[in-house]
Amino acid sequence: MSAQTKTIGLIGGMGPAATLDFFDRILKRTKAVRDEDHLRVIIDNNTKVPSRDAFSKGEGPSPGAAIAASARGLQDAGADFIVMACNTAHAYEADIRAAITVPFLSMIDETVAAAAELRPERVGLLAADPCLRANLYQDACRKARLDLVLLPADSQRTAQELINRIKSGDTGDTVRRSMAVLAKKLEALGAEVIVAGCTEVPIVLTADDVDCELISSTDVLVEKSILFAGAELKA
């Protein structure tokens, strides 16, 4: 089996903790005993991409070219398809697709498809500010005819602060509890499914923290990537 699997190219670094988490989950979810049973994954932990947040506020250069160059570099290094461990950076999906000839699996599309399968009335979203400003989940949910619930402005400010703390390495109890409170708020607003639509979120939020279904954009793309690569999921 192992010889015929595809090589995953992972655009990362936005942030590094989410990239590590994505890689960790790929290893944990792949059915494997020996080294060679695992998938080949080429990762560009590219922390030098211009700030997505600054650009989305009109305060800096576009990250698009740097992200596209990462994608191309991964393809040249042997990746058979490309994924990206950052929801927000999917605002530059067109740049990526223009730079490569191999497939790109969209975290946004796969996550919304996974949410749609549960046929919820309303989907709650935990996402970073620049991701919301880029309307990535809003557009994808509209296409999938899913009703989206966002946090009120003050809670969204807290969400962004928590994401920043996770990016700086703080995954302690306070951050965990505060993120769970935000998820509960989305439930109170009628969400039947909550999408962890930022790869920092599932680092601290688990299914046990909410009563409704939690869909982790990381887990969705990890599983899809393993299957697309031709390996099996660990039971």
Q: Show which residues are catalytic.
A: 86, 198
Task: Give the type of residue at 151.
Answer: L
For 42-67, the DSSP string reads: EEEE-TTSPPHHHHHTT-S--SHHHH
First vs last C-alpha separation in the chain: 17
Burial bucket for residue 168 (CB in 10 Å: 0-12, 13-18, 19+): exposed
Q: Is 6 a residue that touches a copy of itself (CB under 8 A)?
A: no
38 or 122: CB nearest a copy of itself: 38
# binding residues, a copy of itself (CB under 8 A): 39
Could you give the CA distance from residue 74 to residue 56 in angstroms, rounded to a whole number?
26
For residue 61, give both structure tokens.
Answer: 């250069």
70 or 106: CB nearest a copy of itself: 70
Interacting residue with a copy of itself among 6, 40, 97, 133 (CB under 8 A): 40
User: Given its phi and psi angles, is residue 2 left (phi above 0), alpha (psi -120 to 50 degrees) or beta?
Assistant: alpha
Q: Is 37 a residue that touches a copy of itself (CB under 8 A)?
A: yes
Could you give the CA distance from residue 87 to residue 111 in angstroms, rounded to a whole number?
10
19 or 216: CB nearest a copy of itself: 19
Q: Is 171 a residue that touches a copy of itself (CB under 8 A)?
A: no
Residues 68-107 that bind a copy of itself (CB under 8 A): 73-74, 76-78
CB of 53 to a copy of itself, least distance (A): 10
Residues 128-167 that bind a copy of itself (CB under 8 A): 167
Contact residues toward a copy of itself (CB under 8 A) are 2-3, 13-17, 20, 23-24, 27-28, 32-49, 51, 73-74, 76-78, 167-169
